[in-house]
């Protein structure tokens, strides 16, 4: 991958049905632009990666450690390593910018999305 890039030129990968990511990997960190289709539920899961994120568009309900909260644009979240979490996108879907450490090497073999329903940022 080039050092400098436009998100529109990055191929989205499918993590779950209705959930796509465009990823930039560094040596020790991954950054993802995650796009969630309206009302999609990301099932409860956990991973060894620490995860930080911010909602940049739409809304999503996050459920972690017995806490449930809806976040809108500007809301941030933090999932420590191996902590189970679930996300439910709002009626307009959601776009999240996320960082993971260590690198999300488990995403290397994800299939490409051929027809993404959400594309952030919108073409101008």
- Domains of the chain in start order, with CATH, are 37-106 (2.60.120.10)
Rounded Cα–Cα distance for residues 49 and 30 (Å): 10
Tell me what pLDDT residue 117 has: 67
- pLDDT at site 7: 85
Chunk the chain into consecutive blocks of 10 residues (it has 124) and report each block's average pLDDT, rounded to whole numbers.
82 93 96 96 97 98 95 98 98 97 95 78 71
pTM of the complete model: 0.92
- For residue 27, what are its two tokens? 């040596």
Distance, in Å, from the CA atom of 120 to the CA atom of 124, rounded to the nearest integer, reads 11
pLDDT, position 1:
64
């Amino acid at each position: 991958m080039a050092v400098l890039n436009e998100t529109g030129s990055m191929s989205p990968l499918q993590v779950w049905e209705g959930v796509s990511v465009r990823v930039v990997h560094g040596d020790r960190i991954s950054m993802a632009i995650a796009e969630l289709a309206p009302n999609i539920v990301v099932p409860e899961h956990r991973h060894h990666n620490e995860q930080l994120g911010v909602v940049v568009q739409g809304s999503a309900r996050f459920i972690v450690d017995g806490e449930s909260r809806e976040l809108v644009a500007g809301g941030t979240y933090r999932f420590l390593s191996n902590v189970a979490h679930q996300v439910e996108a709002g009626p307009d879907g959601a776009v999240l910018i996320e960082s993971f450490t260590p690198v999300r090497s488990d995403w290397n073999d994800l299939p490409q999305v051929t027809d993404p329903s959400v594309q952030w940022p919108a073409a101008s």
